[in-house]
Amino acid sequence: MKRLIPCLEQDNVDIELILLIKTILTACKEISFRVGQGALSNVLGSTLDENIQGETQKKLDIISNQLLKDMLLESGKVRTIASEEEDYVVAATEGAPYIVAFDPLDGSSNIDINGQIGTIFTIYRAKDDVSAESELQFSQKGTEQVCAGYVLYGPSTLLAMTTGGPSRLYTLDKTQGCYLLTTEQMDIPTETQEFAVNMSNYHQWSAGFTHYINDLLLGNEGTRAKKYNMRWNGAMVGDVHRVLSRGGIFCYPNNTKSPQQPAKLRLLYEANPLAMLVENANGKASTEQERILAIEPSHIHQRVAVIMGSTSEVDECLEYLNVK
């Protein structure tokens, strides 16, 4: 089986970027080990702290954030870092070529139940006309990402990653400590009979989105040609991994009862990297209005509605939302 570095070389990824990716993946290997040890490595449970998102931080949120941050600061390849668990950007190495953003631990509510969790990361080129301390380093559209990926800590530890070419899947060989290529090109089927949405938010959705889900629930007893199945993981990384593996639609729509904070998922370190992986696996990724990767970001912790997965199902959903 092919190892990661030769795959990146084959995709003509430059050496500086390869070294940076290697740093991120080494940190993820360490997170994977600690996740695997569970209660034995004292990583379960909560802290008393809150992040800027207003969420209580789990021990593993903090540990994963610290591991990634420390290794990136040492690497010399990163100018600026942004994380779900950091209030502000962190200035790293002046003059370094890249900036990195990550969700160190996605699916925090699954930590203590031994459910799926993961790390999501994205890399952009640093801007020379902006200081390393400025969050304006990250005011770049998702189309500017030079690498996007996640490491999923499930029964196996998997890496899904794209550097602009195909979205590839690697499996961490824990006996040798290396990531081996196990799917050359992920390819999301255009059609699907599976949807992922948190149904407990049903009464908070827009009329258009509620109508869409009502029709999925009716399936072939209503207007749709088939019967639909539903899955919800509680970790976007796990839900989108299923969509990348066998198709489906993943939705986290706006909450119309919360005008101040209508969306839940974060553009920079959740929506954009997963949208790039989905698009490079022949899927589609949108908000309730526009292509996710085309959004001009307003700030690092910005949130957006997310609808992504099988192309014709995403298009169908957008029609209910009157997006042409």
Q: Is 139 assigned a ligand-binding role in the annotation?
A: no
Kindly state the helix (H) or strand (E) to which residue 115 belongs, with its residue range: none
Looking up tokens 């690697």, which residue turns up? 170
User: Between 73 and 112, how does the x/- string for binding to Mn ion read (CB under 5 A)?
Assistant: -----------x------------------x-xx------
Q: How many residues in the shown chain lie near ligand AHG by CB under 6 A?
A: 11
Q: Is 22 assigned a ligand-binding role in the annotation?
A: no
- Per CB under 6 A, the list member of 92, 235, 249, 305 interacting with ligand AHG is 235
Q: Is 198 assigned a ligand-binding role in the annotation?
A: yes
User: Between 253 and 272, how does the x/- string for binding to Mn ion read (CB under 5 A)?
Assistant: --------------------
**Contact in structure between 80 and 86 (CB atoms under 8 Å):** no
Sign of CA dihedral 261, 108, 288, 295: positive
CA distances from 65 to 41, 103, 163, 210, 267 (A): 16, 8, 23, 36, 18
Bridge partners (DSSP) of residue 87 are none
Q: Is 105 assigned a ligand-binding role in the annotation?
A: yes
Q: Does 84 bind ligand AHG (CB under 6 A)?
A: yes
Q: Does 55 bind Mn ion (CB under 5 A)?
A: yes
Q: Cβ contacts of residue 246 below 8 Å, gap of 6+?
A: 189, 194
Nearest 5°: CA angle at 263, between 261 and 264? 100
> Which conformational region is residue 143 in: left (phi greater than 0), alpha (psi within -120 to 50 degrees), or beta?
alpha
Quickly list DSSP for 2-39: -BHHHHHHHTT--HHHHHHHHHHHHHHHHHHHHHHHGG
251 phi/psi in degrees, rounded to 5: -130, 130
Q: Is 109 assigned a ligand-binding role in the annotation?
A: yes
- Per CB under 6 A, the list member of 30, 55, 144, 315 interacting with ligand AHG is 55
Choose between 23 and 51: whose C-beta lies nearer to ligand AHG. Answer: 51
**Rounded to the nearest whole angstrom, what is the least distance from the CB of residue 83 to Mn ion in the complex?**
9
User: Between 146 and 175, how does the x/- string for binding to Mn ion read (CB under 5 A)?
Assistant: ------------------------------
Choose between 308 and 321: whose C-beta lies nearer to ligand AHG. Answer: 308
174 phi/psi in degrees, rounded to 5: -75, -15
Choose between 92 and 117: whose C-beta lies nearer to ligand AHG. Answer: 117
Q: Which amino acid does the sequence have at 34?
A: R
Choose between 18 and 276: whose C-beta lies nearer to Mn ion. Answer: 276
Q: Does 41 bind ligand AHG (CB under 6 A)?
A: no
| Rounded Cα distance, 239 and 249, in Å | 9
**Contact in structure between 107 and 115 (CB atoms under 8 Å):** yes
**Contact in structure between 307 and 249 (CB atoms under 8 Å):** yes
Choose between 103 and 194: whose C-beta lies nearer to ligand AHG. Answer: 103
From the list 40-48, 100-108, 183-191, 287-295, the region that binds ligand AHG by CB under 6 A is 100-108
Q: Is 319 assigned a ligand-binding role in the annotation?
A: no
User: Between 11 and 30, how does the x/- string for binding to ligand AHG read (CB under 6 A)?
Assistant: --------------------
Q: Is 191 assigned a ligand-binding role in the annotation?
A: no
List contacts with Mn ion (CB under 5 A): 55, 84, 103, 105-106
Residues that bind ligand AHG (CB under 6 A): 55, 84, 103, 106-108, 198, 234-236, 264
Q: Annotated binding site for Mg(2+): which residue ranges?
A: 84, 103, 105-106, 270
Known binding-site residues equal 84, 103, 105-109, 198, 264, 270
